[in-house]
């Protein structure tokens, strides 16, 4: 049974389309547009999952939310393969870690930077604190990526897919170009992947590519 992806434009769910393209699994996309004023998801998404967020997938009667959970589910469905955890235990640990780190630790400062930016002058008092908080993570990620080609090890895996959205958001909000060459090089390499480009064509508007 094909997988249905409930996909919100310009959002984290782009990663799920990309993973499905990499895995070559059949899927269909139900697209949602953001409210033009609030930039929130439309109420129809709440009919799929009570939180009304994207991504959500449907498969064999299951409704599955949370990007990392979806990624692990799809990797299991594809029976592992090169995008799953590496065979060496350090690589496997890094794979799992970056799946959690992307949404659990890296996204909160990126979201704060977005909110502060939208607040205009009211956000100014918090700006230097938030930027410092965010840049601590960016420096950490830059150092990690300087040690190996991809997040889990020498090969591209789903850990790279998971890390794409926060780092694309960081590039847009924290103006990383010219300052963090390793992250920018990694972004250039992921954007060059045919499956990344195919997912863009399926997903519609995505302001971070
Ligand atoms: N940690 C969740 C976050 C889900 C989430 O916040 N999705 C955003 C997309 S960028 C969303 O649906 N935002 C619209 C809204 O909050 O109304 C995940 O990774 O799936």
Question: How many angstroms is it from 53 CA to the middle of ligand 1?
Answer: 5
Tens of pLDDT, residue by residue over 158-185, are: 999 999 999 999 999 888 888 899 999 9
Tens of pLDDT, residue by residue over 93-134, are: 999 999 999 999 999 999 999 899 888 898 888 889 999 999
In the beta sheet, which residues pair with residue 63? Answer: 58
Is residue 34 classed exposed, middle or buried when 0-12, 13-18 and 19+ CB atoms within 10 A define those classes? Answer: middle
Q: Is the CB of 53 under 6 A from ligand 1?
A: yes
Is residue 62 one of the residues assigned to a domain?
A: yes
Local structure of residue 87 (DSSP, 8 states) = S
Provide the domain limits for residue 122.
89-193
Tens of pLDDT, residue by residue over 19-35, are: 999 999 999 999 999 99
Number of domains the chain is built from:
2
Do 181 and 122 form a contact (C-beta atoms < 8 A)? no
For residues 77-99, give the mean pLDDT. Answer: 96
Is residue 27 one of the residues assigned to a domain?
A: yes
Question: How many angstroms is it from 8 CA to the middle of ligand 1?
Answer: 9
Is residue 78 one of the residues assigned to a domain?
A: yes
Instruction: Match 């993570």 to its residue by tokens.
Output: 137
What is residue 80's predicted lDDT score, i.e. its pLDDT?
82
Q: Is the CB of 40 under 6 A from ligand 1?
A: yes
Is residue 194 classed exposed, middle or buried when 0-12, 13-18 and 19+ CB atoms within 10 A define those classes? Answer: exposed
């Amino acid at each position: 049974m094909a997988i249905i992806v409930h996909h919100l434009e310009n959002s984290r769910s782009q990663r799920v389309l990309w993973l499905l393209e990499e895995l070559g699994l059949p899927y269909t996309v139900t697209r949602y547009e953001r409210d033009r004023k609030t930039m929130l998801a439309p109420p129809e998404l709440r009919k799929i999952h009570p939180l009304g967020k994207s991504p959500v997938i449907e498969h064999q009667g299951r409704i599955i939310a949370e990007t990392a959970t979806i990624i692990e589910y799809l990797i299991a469905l594809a029976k592992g393969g090169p995008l799953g955890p590496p065979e060496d235990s350090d690589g496997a640990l890094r794979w799992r870690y970056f799946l959690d780190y992307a949404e659990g630790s890296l996204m909160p400062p990126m979201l704060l930077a977005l909110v502060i930016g939208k607040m205009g002058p009211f956000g100014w008092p918090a700006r230097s604190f938030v930027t410092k908080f965010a840049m601590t993570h960016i420096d950490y990620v830059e150092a990690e990526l300087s040690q190996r080609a991809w997040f889990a090890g020498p090969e591209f895996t789903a850990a790279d897919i998971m890390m794409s959205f926060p780092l694309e958001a960081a590039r847009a909000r924290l103006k990383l170009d010219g300052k963090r060459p390793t992250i920018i090089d990694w972004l250039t390499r992921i954007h060059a992947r045919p499956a990344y480009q195919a997912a863009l064509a399926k997903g519609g508007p995505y302001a971070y590519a």
